[in-house]
Amino acid sequence: MKTLILGILLIEFALDAVVERLNWKALPQDEAFRRQRSYFRENLRLRWLEHACELAFWILLIQSNLPAVLEQQTQMISEHALFQGTLWLFMISALRSLIGVPFQAYATFSIEARYGFNQTTLRTFLGDRVKGILLSLILGLPAFMGILFLFEKMGVQAWWMTWLAATLLSLGLGYLAPSLILPLFNRFEPLANGELRNAIEDYARKEQFPIQGTFVMDGSKRSTKRNAFFTGFGRLRRLVLFDTLLQNHTHSEILAIVAHEMGHFKLGHIPKSIAISILTQGALFWTIGRFLASPLAVAGVQETLGLQEITTAGSLLVIALLYSPISRVLSVGMLAFSRKNEFEADAYSRRTFGDAEALISALQKMEKDHLSHPSPHPLKVILEYSHPPVEKRAQALRCQTLGESQDFSVLK
């Protein structure tokens, strides 16, 4: 089992290296894209250094007695096996997360700052991490403990109970996030009365799309990059616009973006995406149940990690590593579905708002200003892109405007 895990880690690392190399070669060589190439190169180097450190961490974890040492530490803290397993998983997760903090800090305060994107202060950066840790303690620890409890008490049959509990938790957080979680990180203020607000409300009424209000988020608190999104469900749904979006786009462009985001809801993309996520989550919990039902598999976990008592917690970690290739394969389908949805939401914006060029202009501005890759390699798109390249989206929008076929399969 140890050899299998190490093989998976190394193969995934090599695959990512090949994909990133192809994506780098796909960058235009023109002088006009010199700044994009420079920005992309710096981020790529940093990302690969981080990936190498992550790989080293997992190899160290598998090859050393660190898991057993952490198990001993949890036994010194508590005599309760359930809490020991939960604390052990949390320690592994915390160590893994700490690896990324220096890279995030360098990306934020060096790369993003030098290219004019960063607006984050050190206080905000540290505050975000502290809030993230607190949320992990409040939400993550009970979730870990609940999963361990069910599998230890119910065995293989616990998979559907944990699946149900995880589904309810995810839906609950999705419902509560707009009012309880998002305000912990950003400030939201109602969009001021005026032409833009009136136009958004008129468009929403025309499309029979109820929203509780339109709010402006202080995205400039962290970055000059911009976005817009809907959050919440039903009549609690809110439209959120980054303040940077208002500063850099015309009203027509903003309305075209709003129409696109609305299209996701009107076309049923949100419930479909949630359903797919729930099903894939169910597959994971079923796999966990079958794995824990195998004495041979559990014995392999003990041998691989050198654990004595917290084998259920250790099994969850091993399953996460073994499940990684399956998760990647599943994500290819989910990403393809997401890109298809983006084309359809673009078409909805064009059809209902009626200004395809406004949406194209908004997308091209963001691509240029964010220094995004203008022509990513197709393999990179397949494996990682939830949104189609802007060039493909513009091509599809113009085809629709000319009345040509709306078959998006050739543009994926």
CA 261 to chain centre: 17
Mention every residue, 6+ apart, whose C-beta is less than 8 A from residue 135: 181, 184
Mention every residue, 6+ apart, whose C-beta is less than 8 A from residue 218: 186, 187, 243
DSSP 179-228: IIIGGGT--EEEPPSSHHHHHHHHHHHHTT---SEEEEE-GGGTBS---E
Q: For residue 347, which of 387, 388, 392, 396 has the smallest C-alpha distance?
A: 396
d(CA 295, CA 300): 9
d(CA 172, CA 155): 26
d(CA 110, CA 58): 27
Tokens 């794995």 sit on residue: 291
Annotated active-site positions, please? 261, 346
Mention every residue, 6+ apart, whose C-beta is less than 8 A from residue 70: 88, 91, 92
Estimate the crossing angle of helix 311-322 against helix 2-25, to 10 degrees.
40
Q: How far is CA 286 from CA 161, 262, 276, 360, in A?
A: 10, 35, 15, 43
Q: 100 near 132, Cβ under 8 Å?
A: no
